[in-house]
Amino acid sequence: MMQRIKKMSDTNLLLTITIVVFILMYLCAVIFLGEGFRKPQAFLNQFNNNAYLIIIACGLSLVMITGGIDISVGGVIGLVSMTCAVNLDLKGGNIVTSMLIALGIGLAFGLVQGFLVAYLDIQPFIVTLAGMFFARGLTTIVHTNPINVKNSDFVKLRTTDVVIPGLGAENKRGVYIDATIEIGVVIALIIVLALFFMLRWSKTGRNFYAVGGNQQSALMLGINVRRTKFLSYVMCGLLAGIAGYVYFMHVGSGSPSHAQGAEMNAIASSIIGGTMLTGGVGNIIGTLFGVLSLSTIKDIVTSSGYDDPWWTGITVAAMLCIFLVIQSVIMAKKHAQGASDKKEKQAAPASS
C-alpha cells in the first residue's frame, strides 16, 4: 500500500483521498439518512445548487496551483448578477447583452488583478482583497435594492432544464417525474472537463504547475512566469464572470447580498479537493469533488435536524480540519519515506 502511495504524484494522491472520502460520506448519508439522499434527483440537486461554486472553485484552483489566491470572485458574482438584473429589467437589455456584460466584468477584473499581481509583483491577497471591496461597493452603486428579473426571455432561459433519461422517480402520488439538471450545471461540467484537459495535457497547463512548484526554477527553465501568472488570474476572473451569470440564472435576481462568502466556500472546496495553498499541487476533478463534499456535508447536517446556520459552519470547519490533517499526515509520511530512501541511496555508494 505504502509502496503504491509513494509512487503516486502528490496531486494524484490528494485527489484519491478526496474522492474516497466523498464516496464514503455519500454512502453513509444514503444508508443512515434515507429518503432525501436516495433519489437520483437529490444527487443532481447538489450540482444544481452549486454550479456557480464549481465554476469559481475551478478558477481558484487555477490561481492556487500557480501559488496565488483570488478572493474577489464572490464580489464579482454579486456585481455580475446585479448588473445583469439592472440591464434586463430596468434598461431593457436582452439575454445576449447581459451575457456579454457578465463576461466583460469578469474579464476586466481578471485583467486588472492579473496585471497588478504578475507584472507589478503586488501580493495577490492584497490585490484581490481590494478587488472584493471594489466589486461589493460597485454592486451597491449599480443598484441598492434587490431586483427580481421578470424579462420573459430570461425567465424562459433560466427555467429550461436538461432531462437526464432513466433517472427519474415516482412521487408519492405515483406520478413519474424526470430527473433534471439546470443549464448552469452543463456549463460547469464543460468547464471542469476543459480545464482538466488543459491542466493535464497542454503546455500552458503544465506551466501553471511549474510556476506554483518553484517560481524561480520555472523562470530558469525558460517559462514565462509573469505571463503564466497573468493568465491564471485572467482565467479566474473570466470564470468568475461566467459563474456570476450561472448564479444569476439559478436565483433569477440581483442583490447586493448575493454570493456573500462564496470565495471562502470556493477556497475551502478547492483545498478539500486536494489543491495546496502553497502551490504546484492540485486537480480540477478534485475541486469538483471538493464542492460536492462541502455541499453534501451541509445537507447532511441540515437533514439530521441541525438546521441552524452555525451547525453547518462548525461542521464545515471540522471537515476542513480533518481533511487538512489527513492530507498533511499522509504527505508527511510519504515524504519521510522518500527521505529515508534518499539516505539509503546516498549511503549505497559508500558500501560498494
Partner 1 sequence: MQGETILKMRGICKFFPGVRALDGVDFSLCKGEIHALMGENGAGKSTLIKVLTGVYPKDGGEITLDDKVVSIRSPQDAQNAGISTVYQEITLCPNLSVAENMYIGREKDKLVKWKKRNNEADKLLQSLDIPARANQQLSSCSIAVQQMVAIARAVDMDCKVLILDEPTSSLDENEVAKLFRLMRDLKAKGVGIIFVTHFLDQVYEVCDKITVLRDGKLVGEYVIEDLPRVQLVSKMLGKDLDDMSDIKSEATEYSGEGAGQDVFQCTELCSNAGIKPFDFHIQKGEINGFTGLLGSGRSECVRAIFGADHVTGGTVRKYGKPVKITKPIDAMKNGIAYLPEDRKIDGIVADLSVRENIILALQVMKGFFKPFTKAQANKFADEYIKLLGIKTASADTPIKSLSGGNQQKCILARWLLTKPEYLILDEPTRGIDVGTKIDIQKLVLKLASEGMSVTFISSETDEMLRTCSRLIVMRDRKVVGELSGDELTQNMIMNTIAGGEQQQ
Question: CA-CA distance, 292 to 319, in Å (whole number)?
Answer: 13
Select from 47-55, 69-77, 185-193, 202-210 the region that touches partner 1 (CB under 8 A). 202-210
Query: Which helix (DSSP H) or strand (DSSP E) does residue 164 occupy?
Result: strand 161-170
Instruction: Work out the angle at residue 233's Cα, subtended by the Cα atoms of residues 227 and 234, and round it to the nearest 5 degrees.
Output: 85
Specify whether the backbone of 254 is left (phi greater than 0), alpha (psi in -120 to 50) or beta.
beta
Kindly state whether residue 10 participates in binding partner 1, applying the rule CB under 8 A. yes
Question: CA-CA distance, 152 to 171, in Å (whole number)?
Answer: 30
CB of 279 to partner 1, least distance (A): 8
Binding track over 303-342 against partner 1, x by CB under 8 A: --------------------------------x--x-xxx
Kindly state whether residue 123 participates in binding partner 1, applying the rule CB under 8 A. no
CB of 191 to partner 1, least distance (A): 19
Choice between 157 and 198, CB closer to partner 1: 198
Kindly state whether residue 152 participates in binding partner 1, applying the rule CB under 8 A. no
Choice between 2 and 96, CB closer to partner 1: 2
Q: Where are the beta strands (DSSP E) in 228-291?
A: 253-254
Choice between 243 and 281, CB closer to partner 1: 281
For residues 186 and 162, the answer to whether their CB atoms sit within 8 Å is yes
Kindly state whether residue 208 participates in binding partner 1, applying the rule CB under 8 A. no
C-alpha cell at 3: 509502496
Of 243, 250, 48, 248, give the one whose Cα is nearest residue 164: 48
Of 339, 344, 297, 298, give the one whose Cα is nearest residue 22: 297
Strand partners, 176: 170
Query: Residue from 206, 251, 302, 330 that binds partner 1 (CB under 8 A)?
Result: 206
C-alpha cell at 285: 476533478
Query: Residue from 207, 255, 269, 327 that binds partner 1 (CB under 8 A)?
Result: 207
Q: What is the distance in angstroms between the CA of the first residue and the CA of the last residue of the chain?
A: 30
Choice between 201 and 310, CB closer to partner 1: 201
CB of 329 to partner 1, least distance (A): 17
For residues 345 and 338, the answer to whether their CB atoms sit within 8 Å is no
CB of 116 to partner 1, least distance (A): 21
CB of 228 to partner 1, least distance (A): 10
Query: Residue from 213, 253, 260, 330 that binds partner 1 (CB under 8 A)?
Result: 213
Binding to partner 1 in span 217-246, by CB under 8 A: 217-224
CB of 9 to partner 1, least distance (A): 5
Binding to partner 1 in span 241-280, by CB under 8 A: 280
Letter for the amino acid at 192?
V
Choice between 257 and 352, CB closer to partner 1: 352
Instruction: Work out the angle at residue 188's Cα, subtended by the Cα atoms of residues 60 and 104, and round it to the nearest 5 degrees.
Output: 70
Query: Residue from 166, 203, 257, 305 that binds partner 1 (CB under 8 A)?
Result: 203
Taking the mean position of all CA atoms in its chain, how far away is CA 148? Answer: 26
Binding site for partner 1 (CB under 8 A): 6-7, 9-11, 200-204, 206-207, 209-210, 212-214, 216-224, 280-281, 335, 338, 340-343, 345-347, 349-351
